[in-house]
Every structure is written in structure tokens, then in C-alpha cells.
Chain A
Amino acid sequence: MTDLLTYILRGLPIGCVFGLLAVGIVLTYKTSGVLNLAFGAQAFVSGCIFYALRSEKYLGWGTFPSFVVAVLIVAPLLGLLLDIGLYRHLRTAPAVAKLVTSLGLLVAIPQVAKLFIGTASLSNPPGLASDTTVQLFGIDLSTNQIATMVITAVCVGGLLAMFRFSSIGLHMRAVVESPRLTELTGVNAARVGAISWMLSSAFAGLAGVLLAPLFSQLSEFDYFNLLVAALAAAAFGRLSSIGLAAVGGIALGVLQKLLAGYLPSGNVVSTGLQGSLPFLVLFLLLLFWPGLRKPREMADPLAAVDPPPPPPASTLRDRRLTIATYVLGTFVVGCGTILTFTTLDDFYLAIITKGVILSIVFLSITLITGIGGQLSLCQATFCGVGCFATAQLAAHTGMPVLVAAVLGAAIAAVLGALVALPALRLGGVYLALATLAFALMFETVIMPLDAVSGGSVPIKVPRPRFLGINFRDDRRFFLLCVASLILMSAIVLLVRSGTTGRILHALRTSETAAASIGINPARAKITVFALSAAIAGFGGGMLAIFERRVGRSFFQADLNYFYGLVWLVLVVTLGSRSISGAVNAGLSFLLFPRLLEALGLSQSTAQGVAFVLFGLGAVTYAKFPEGIIESQTRRVLLRLLPREAAR
């Protein structure tokens, strides 16, 4: 048998895994209108339950009862819970709101599972079949791999048949388009929606159990990494074709094996191409695949029968209230700074300093998401760019480190503009996916390069001297960080209230209408992308100066893509349209787990609970797009002024 044929055959099992996941994503999207990034998290839950039931280390049940409980009972129940608790109320919400909700679940669900599992290793996960090897066309495959291929084929065929030939398939698609219209024909939209979610969740559970034997131990990150590859396949299927998604997954798996088989070892292109293949494919598909160029947003044609939603609370503001807010904010920041400077020990000083720096980075999310209305999942990457640029410039040129931080911000801005340029044709969830693909490409291929992260030994970063003041001392440096935060906040406020902010506001309201009055959406989007990348980059530079040593391990620990997702979730939870939201998020990210520890939780439990709460907070995004805290604050303030508000 030729090498080509064997590589193709070897690619089939992993391709089927991609395909299975992709089909699950498409199924969810077709039946609920949700691009479910939490699909991998749902799969992880079923994988864990199957492990706990099946493994001899725990209950040691048989394969069939374990499968029934993990895939046919728990997974559909989880789907039902998600439908009743969340997605039923989001059926006609904007796609971005649904995506943020799924991001929140992506963060929260694995943490909930881990609170039950604990820190124990789930090693050598069992599969549905035994792990014996059989020969198929001359290559050795495990029975688990064969089972995956067979099940993928059966599922794809079954789903295609269901959508084509059954009334429930038709009802599912109809409910996504317009629940009201469907109900007018006598169909119970809520019941159909629930069935959709239970089915897609069972599919996630099936994928979770089938995927488990691929790994040496179960980890939610492995599930998410495979999900990104599956997203590429789902994009190939235009998020609507189950058959094409399956084909895309299989093609991706085969392509990976062909690259592994034919690309020469020891050159940068090979390493880069293999490392980034799924992300690169996803990025390219999003940009150039015809079916995705003009994404169709789900919109209920009968939505107009509803009264218009009330305006966001943040758009109603009294002048005196605004002044009072600024005065109070200044007072709180001033007192907090003085207290931190004078009373806190080095541990909390370090945490709050880092929180202040993260607040700077989070202002970039305020700018791009809160003001610009775009969902970027690569702000942590821009932060990393600024961080390493600052470190490298200061270490290798002897440049003043604050100047290096500004240059780092400029480099991040250029990169931001370059990312925005091809992504302009995209919007909503597709732009988010493109930025996620970029973040993963950077983390996998670019960041590990010596020229970027400095090799295996961390780069040493000096502290600044500015206007004759030496900032080597941590307390002085804290003041510098606060000053930087104020400066960046002022820039964001200026942008928000200036021409760019007004253009963005107009674009957020109606891009078509804005274009009709002469606004250039492309220029505005590139501007906001570049500016937000610059702010994230500057924050990264300050982070490098704060840390004093930065390298790959620092990036993996503090700036990985997953943290980028958590950051976004946290900012939109606490208020993506206000400066205070970013500052609250920056400080909460580090202080909230400590607060839970102070209440008696163990460190790992406290972090888990914090992530669960952060994640669950984001699921309120659709209802409170300005952030739940911001919204509740405004609500309380408006209650204090009932008469005027009524008028």
C-alpha cells in the first residue's frame, strides 16, 4: 500500500472525531440558532461521568449502563436545563448575545464538573469498545477508532434523514426561524426547542465519550482544542450542512496526517503549518468561504409584534447623577489608592497592582465590545504582543522601558489593524471565531519563537525611571500603574464621546443606515480594532514591567487564550460599556477568588467557584447588554428618581 493511501486511512479516525464534533455544532446551530462554544464543555461533562461510572478506579460499572447514564440521561438533561434556563429566552436574541452566553457556559460548565471531580487524575480513560487492535486495509486501528468511524457514519446519516424526512426535523428548523409563526401552525415551539437541545446535548455527550480514549487523561482543554478544529469543519459546512461539516472534519483529519507524513522535519514552515492547521483553516474559511461571506442572522419575522425593548439603562442619565458618579468614583479610586499604598502588605499590593494593570487591558474590551460592538477573542494575544515587544525592546536596545511599552502598544495596534483588515467582511460570531483562530495561531506558532518570547530563559525587564522618580519600589510602581489607568480611561472616554465613538454608536445601531449617511464602516472598525489592540498592548507592556521577568511560561500562565475568554466574559458581566466595568473586572478577576478563600474555601475550589460565577454572570448578557452590575446600579438609581424618570 502506498504511503499516500496509508496516511489517508490514518487520518480517517481523527477526521471522524472532528466531523462528529462539527456535526454536533451544526446540529446545535441548525436547531437553536446558537453557535455553541460550550459544546466541548458539555462533551467533557459526559466524558467525566462515563469515566467515573466505567473506570475500575471509581464505580466500575459496565459499558452499557455507563453509556446510558452519561449519554442518554445526563447529557439530554443538561440540554433541557440549558434550554429551559437560558436559550429558550434567547431564541430571537442577537447572535452575539447567544455567543457570549455560550462563552459563559464554556467557562462555567467544566468548573462545575471539576468541583465534583476534584483534582484527581482521570487517566487512561476507557472507551465504548475495547482497546484491541485490528488490521484494516493493512493499517492497525483500535476498536475504539473503528467505533468512532462507524458511529460518525450512523449519526450523520441519521441526522440527515431526520432533517429531510421527519416532521420533527422540519419543526426544529422552523422554530429557529420563528417560534411564533411555528406556533400559529399548532406546533408547540417550546417542546420542539427542548427536544432540539436534548438531542444536540446527547450528541455532545456521545462525542465526549467517544473522544475520551484519545487522551491519556481527561482535560477540558483537550476537548476545547479539538472543538476549534471542529469549528473549522463546521465553517466548511457553512454552519448549516451536516453532510458538508462531516466531510470537512474528515478532510481536516486526513490533511493533518498528510502534512505529518510529507512535510520535512526541522523547518519553520513545517512546524508552523502543522501547529496551526486547524486555526489557519478556520481563519481562511471564515474569510473566503462563500457561504460565510454574508452570514444570515436569525430574525423572527413576527418579532415586531413585541413592544420595543426598553432602552439600555446606561443611555438614561441625569447630569447631576453623572457628576455624582464621577465624584464618587474619584473618591473611591483616591481612597483605594491611598489605602493600598499605605496599609496593604506586599502580597495584596502585588495583586491590586496587577488588577490595575488588567483593568488597563480590560479597557480594550470596553472599547472594542462595549463601544465598538465587536466581539474580539484575542485581546489577551494583543496584551502578549505588547508584553513581549516591551521586554525585547528594553532588553536588547536599552530603550527606556516606558518608551518600549508605548512602542509595544504601537506594534500591537499595527497587528490589530492587520487582523481587522481581512476580518472586516465578517461580523458578529464570525468575527469572534476569526479572532479566536488568530489567538490560537499566535499561541501555538508565533509565541514560542525565540524572537518573540526570548527562548527558554525568561527576558528580564527593568523598572522605569520617569521624571527623576525611581519606580523600582513596588509601591511607587503601583502609583504609576494607577496613573496609567487614569490616562487610558481618559483616552477611552475621549473616544467614546468623540467622533469615532459617535460613528461606532451609529454603526452599532444600524450599519446600513450609517453607511447611507457617509460613514465608512471599514475605517471605523479598523480604527477601533487598532486602538483597542494598542490599549491591550500597553497593558501588556505594564504587565511585563510589573513582572520583571517574562517568557513562555508567563504567557502560558497569564495570557493564554482561555484567560482571554474569561476576561471577556467577566467584562461583559460587570459592564462592557463603562470604565468602572473594566476596573471592577480587573480587580475582581484577582481579588474575588481571594475573597472566597477568606470565606473558607480551598484555593482550587475558590478559583473554580469564581469562574463558575463569572461564567454564569455572562449568561445574563442578552438581558443586560451593558452588564448586570451596571444595569442593576442604574435601576436602583432610577428608582430613586421615579417622578423624573416617568416624565
Chain B
Amino acid sequence: MSIRPTGDLMRSHRTPTTNRSHRSHRSHRSHRPRTKAAGALAVGALVLAAACGNVYEASDKGNGGQANGTTGAGAGASGGGNPTGAVEKNKLKQKNPSTQPGVTDDTIRVGGVAATSNILKMPVDQAFNGVQAYFDMVNSEGGMYGRRLELVSKRDDQMFRNKEEAQGLVSQDNVFAVAPVATLLFTGAGVLADAKIPTFGWSINPDYGGPPNLYGDKGSFLCTSCGYPAQSFVARENGISKVGLITYGVDQSKECAVGMKAGFERHKVAEVVFTDDTVVFGNTDYGVQVQKMKAAGVQMVVTCMDSSGMINLAREISKQNADIIQYLQTGYDYDVLADYPKEFEGSIIMTQFVPLEFAQRPTGLDNYLKWIDKIPGAKKGEISLGGWLAADMLYRGIAMAGPDFTREKVISNLNQVTNWNADGITPGWDWTIVHEAPMPVSCQSFSKILDGKFVPQFTEPKKPFVCFNPDEPLPDEPRRKAGGE
């Protein structure tokens, strides 16, 4: 046996050719075989191309809504006469044997995924605490159909591994349902949709829209460009006549600005005098934007940005001592407020749940505040409340499905609920609509940041939500309502 330089090394001494005649001779010699080879390759490619086709999933072609037969009256639906998903607790005591995945003799296993270690450092793992608090409440009352609800899996998708973790929930954790999904990217939506597993989460991603088994706490269909009248109403009530719009230079953010601008133009309450839809994601310095807004007389700025962008903008507004408030569509976060009370002073935040500071709290919110305090390390706020709402949907779905509950029954029953409000926490979502379209009437609640606290605005006794029909002119006195009313 001998060790010798590889062919590569040996051949590199011989070739490439060292003189022109040799090269041209070689080139001439190899010309015809190369032509033939190219021809053969082309013919082969054509044959292979002809042998190719596509295979579509049922949910690939349509919008998913009815594609797999889990919505509507099929699969043992019985929720048609229960618009809010109300639960008769005395009926939860019956225990029947079950062969459903994730259901044992004494537990209903549930798993969740959150971007616990995300690069934005958002405390999204608080959604687990919300689910756990809800399960503790249910289990303290005897559980469901003779079984305890158990959160057996808390996966961390680290923001970038959502699909893998979703697959893990489906095929490794033996869970009946998925709750919560509290992730910044939801690339695993397809996996969960295809597995037809009931899935409930904190919805900030458009990926929830479509599949009938994915449920977001704000409805599954997120319409960023709808141009709701809410911000015009806020402007009017605050005596604001000039507004600014700032978005990132990416389409999703810009779509939001288009919707906002359309809303202002339609209701003619305030004029959009400054727009910047070219901000780079990750931008830290809004000096020029604030300077221009000051010059244009902007009184309120509407942003379609993440919390980091909102904070940096607020810091610059504060630094330039500009008399501009922000209209925030996300960010009901006590930690951010504690860090930047001065910067956000006077800003308005819109939520689609009853603010925790609302005086006449609905039952659902009282329960949340009572049980979330019992979880070590839990923080009150939008995200843990999102987990609570996810658990509430699951609970109602199982309850409506009856003692012989299955995944299909849970989905089909929930999809007939027309006013899900979690005992008054949300305005009321119609699951026959909001998988694929927005609610015809949109309801929100508003809080103003004053002295470092969220202070509910525009409310009436027991009625925290303000409702608008996007197709109608802005009313002088919009309808107020309680959650689920």
C-alpha cells in the first residue's frame, strides 16, 4: 500500500494545459461529445419535466375554512345553540373512556410553544403562566369530564424554530391540544393546521388566518389595512387635528399605514400632515422624523411598529420636548411602562380586551387577576392574558364537545360560537367569521397613559368597549358595550 498525492494534485501538474496547441487540440476533440452530452441532458431534462407534477393538500388550494370538514355541523357539532360557549359546570362531571391522543384516564394533556428566548427579549413565555392559571382554576373545580387539564409541554422556539417545535408538539408530546402559541414568528402554523389539532394562541401573526383549527385571542384574521375608525375617534375626542404616520419600510407595516391613512381621510376628523413609510427596521434614531413632525404641527403620531420602534420614537419625542402623543396598537406592557413612564405620558393605547384597570371588571377578568397572582413569577399584562384567553377557548371547546370529546368535536363546536368573550374579557368574536375575515363591527377599548399608569378612556359603567361600523360615518356617540353584550 502506498500513500501518494491524490488525483487532484497530480492532475493539477498536468492540466490545465501548458501550451496553446495542446489546449486547442483538446478543445477540438471534446467538442462533439460535449454537444452530444448537452443534447442528451436537454432531452433527459424534458423527459423528467414531463414526468413531474404537483400534489396539493386540500388546504393548499382553498382558504382552509371548510376544507377538511371540521367546521360546520359535522363531526358531532352541538354548539349551535350556545353563542358564547357558556359552560354548564355540573355537566363536566361525567367521565367516559377516551381514545383521543393526549387524553388519559385522569388528564387532558396540553402543550404550548412560546418564543421564550427571543432576540427581542419580549416576555412571551408569560403566556404559559396565563394558561397554567386558567388550568389551576378549572382543576380546582374538579377539572373536565373527570380529568385534570395539564400543561405538560412548554416548548421554546427561540423565535426561529417554530416549525420544528410545532412538529414536536404534534408528534412527540402526545397532547390533545396546543395552548398557548405565543411566538413572534408562526412558521409552524401549517404543521398544526395539517395535523388538525385544536390550537389556541396570542395572535400577532397573519399565519393564524384560514385554517379552521387555529384560534387567535383577537380573532384569527388580522386585517392590518382595514382602516378602522378607532383612531379617528381618538383624535376627535382629544381635539387632535393633525396627525403623523410612521411605519417601517416593509409591506406589512406599510399596509397598516395605508389603512390608517384611509381611515383618517374617510372620517375627516384629522389631517395626515406627515407620513414616513421608509423607516428601516431596527432604526434607533428618529431625530429627523420628530423634527419634521414638530414643524408640521403633528399632535398625534400613529405607528405600525414593534415595541422597540415605539420606545425609540417616544424617547426622541421626549428628548425634543415635542407636544406629540402616540396612538399605540400594541404594548399593553407594565414593564415597558415602568421603564419609560415619562416618554409615553399622554399616549393612547388600544386593546381588544378590557383594560385591567377598568373599575367594573367582568367576571372573566376578576378570575384572571385572582388566579394569575397565584403563579410564581407570573406578570399581569397582555401576554399572560393572551395565554388565559387561549386556555378559555380550549376549555369551552371541550365543554361543548361533551364527555365523548374529540379534537374534531372541539373544533366544530367552537367554530359555531358566535360571541366568544371569555366571560366579558373580549368584545365578542364570531368564529363563523373571524377565521377568514374581520368582524363587521369592530370594538376596542382605550387607555391613556397618565403618571405611569394605564387609565381607561371613553368608557361607560360596565361598558369598556367602543364599537364602530367601518362602513358607516363616524358617529357622534359610538355604541359602548360590555364584553359579549
A549 to B275, CA, bound (A): 33
Q: Which of under 10, 10 to 19, 20 to 34, or 35 or more describes the interface residues of B?
A: 35 or more
* In contact, B291 and A10 (Cβ under 8 angstroms): yes
Question: Measured between C-beta atoms, what is the minimum distance from B292 to chain A in Å?
Answer: 7
A203 to B451, CA, bound (A): 40
Q: Is residue A512 contacting chain B, with contact meaning CB distance below 8 A?
A: no
Partner-contacting stretch, out of A69-77, A92-100, A459-467:
A459-467
A266 to B336, CA, bound (A): 31
Q: Is residue B131 contacting chain A, with contact meaning CB distance below 8 A?
A: no
Select which of B155, B207, B278 is within 8 A of A458 by beta carbon. B207
Q: Is residue B298 contacting chain A, with contact meaning CB distance below 8 A?
A: no
* In contact, A214 and B284 (Cβ under 8 angstroms): yes
Q: Is residue B359 contacting chain A, with contact meaning CB distance below 8 A?
A: no
* In contact, A124 and B57 (Cβ under 8 angstroms): no
A620 to B116, CA, bound (A): 32
Q: Which residues of A contact B8 (CB under 8 A)?
A: 315, 496-497, 501-502, 505
Q: Which residues of B contact A462 (CB under 8 A)?
A: 54-57, 60
Partner-contacting stretch, out of A164-172, A183-191, A297-305, A554-562:
A554-562
* A217-B308, A263-B278, A547-B190 given; A401·B54 CB < 8 A: yes
* In contact, A553 and B185 (Cβ under 8 angstroms): yes
Q: Which residues of A contact B281 (CB under 8 A)?
A: 275, 444
**Can you list, as one digit per residue, whether each of B109-146 has a CB less than 8 Å from chain A (1) or not (0)?**
00000001111111101000000000000000000000
Q: Is residue A54 contacting chain B, with contact meaning CB distance below 8 A?
A: no
* CB closest chain-A residue, reference B318: A133
Select which of A14, A401, A466, A647 is within 8 A of B2 by beta carbon. A647
Partner-contacting stretch, out of A33-41, A115-123, A239-247, A287-295:
A115-123
* In contact, B167 and A466 (Cβ under 8 angstroms): no
Q: Which residues of B contact A450 (CB under 8 A)?
A: 251
* CB closest chain-A residue, reference B49: A403
Within 8 A of B (CB), among A83-126: 119-124
Partner-contacting stretch, out of A174-182, A344-352, A532-540:
A344-352
* A217-B308, A456-B251, A463-B55 given; A265·B278 CB < 8 A: yes
Within 8 A of A (CB), among B155-177: 155-156, 158-164, 167-168, 170-172
A479 to B457, CA, bound (A): 60
Q: Which residues of B contact A351 (CB under 8 A)?
A: 164, 167
Q: Is residue A506 contacting chain B, with contact meaning CB distance below 8 A?
A: yes
Kindly count the residue-residue contacts between A and B in the assembled complex, taking CB atoms under 8 Å apart: 267
* In contact, B116 and A641 (Cβ under 8 angstroms): no
- For chain A, the count of residues having a C-beta within 8 Å of the partner chain is 109
* In contact, A556 and B158 (Cβ under 8 angstroms): no
Partner-contacting stretch, out of A24-32, A218-226, A580-588:
A218-226
Q: Is residue A509 contacting chain B, with contact meaning CB distance below 8 A?
A: yes
Question: Measured between C-beta atoms, what is the minimum distance from A546 to chain B in Å?
Answer: 10
Within 8 A of B (CB), among A483-501: 496-497, 499, 501
A590 to B162, CA, bound (A): 13
Q: Is residue B277 contacting chain A, with contact meaning CB distance below 8 A?
A: yes
Partner-contacting stretch, out of B10-18, B415-423, B440-448:
B10-18
Partner-contacting stretch, out of A331-339, A377-385, A414-422, A602-610:
A602-610
* CB closest chain-A residue, reference B195: A346
* In contact, A517 and B18 (Cβ under 8 angstroms): yes
A316 to B3, CA, bound (A): 6
The 3 closest A-B pairs by CB, nearest first: A400-B52, A121-B121, A604-B117
Known: A10-B285, A456-B252. 7 other contacts (CB 8 A): A257-B287, A272-B249, A311-B5, A316-B3, A318-B1, A463-B57, A517-B18
- A-to-B contact residues, CB < 8 Å: 6-7, 10, 13-14, 119-124, 133, 139-142, 214-217, 219-222, 225, 257, 260-261, 263, 265-266, 270-272, 274-275, 311, 314-318, 320, 345-347, 350-351, 354, 394, 398, 400-403, 406, 444, 448-450, 455-458, 460, 462-468, 470-472, 496-497, 499, 501-503, 505-506, 509, 514, 517-519, 547-549, 552-554, 556-558, 560, 563, 590, 602-604, 607, 638, 641, 644-645, 647
Query: Can you give 13 A-B contacts (C-beta < 8 A)?
Result: A121-B335, A215-B312, A217-B120, A266-B278, A318-B3, A400-B54, A456-B206, A468-B51, A502-B8, A502-B15, A506-B16, A557-B161, A557-B162
